[in-house]
Amino acid sequence: MVRDIDFRVKRTPVKPLAQPVAPKVALDTVKKGGSSATLWTVLVLLLVAAAIGIWQFSATSATPTTSVKTPATTKEITPVADPIPTKVENSILSPQSSSPLVQIYDSGAGSTEVSVLVDKLKALGYKVDNLEKSQFNYDRTYIRYRAGMQAEAEKIQSTMPERLVSLKEVVSAGLFDILILYGVK
């Protein structure tokens, strides 16, 4: 069976759709020096002010950091004649009178290395708290200390002459006097 083709319907050619015409923008609607120029000026000024603020903040908050492979020499300070502190002042104000609390994180050195350091520091008379494994591994050992603990931190640094150590004083409300992040090197 063959289907009949209907020749009665007259076919009309399809015209292509009309291209949408882009609206013409009059160039005179944006004024020179108008609101867009003011916006850019304000943005540039804010960016410059932020850069100056960051620069000044980083310059004032930078504390000296030492990074040495050999132990640093400690300076012997001769005390100025002070009145003799009372027993209460001695226990509260002078952290050097009692042994400082040293907390140690294993930051890549390994648990055996950390336990050797803990034993060494306990033999020197420090209160040592082993905090086990750190979240991060570091390529060097970092010693962070509170104000007044620099001499103690340098003594601890001298117990590890084979390590690359970075000392830094920190402002901390933590419960430690000295924090050691015992890294790989």
Instruction: Tell me the pLDDT tens digit for each residue of 17-70.
Output: 777 666 665 555 555 556 788 899 999 999 999 999 888 887 765 555 555 554
The domain locations on the chain are 68-76+98-182
Tell me the pTM. 0.48
- Output the pLDDT for position 94: 39
One DSSP character per residue, 36-100 reads HHHHHHHHHHHHHHHHHHHHHHHHHH---EEEESSPPPPPP-PPP--PPPPHHHHHHH-TTTSPP
pLDDT at 25: 57
Region 11-20 average pLDDT: 71
Q: What is the pLDDT of residues 65-114, one digit of tens each?
A: 555 554 555 455 555 554 554 444 443 333 445 788 999 999 999 989 99
The domain at 68-76+98-182 falls in which architecture? 2-Layer Sandwich (3.30)
| The pLDDT of residue 96 | 47
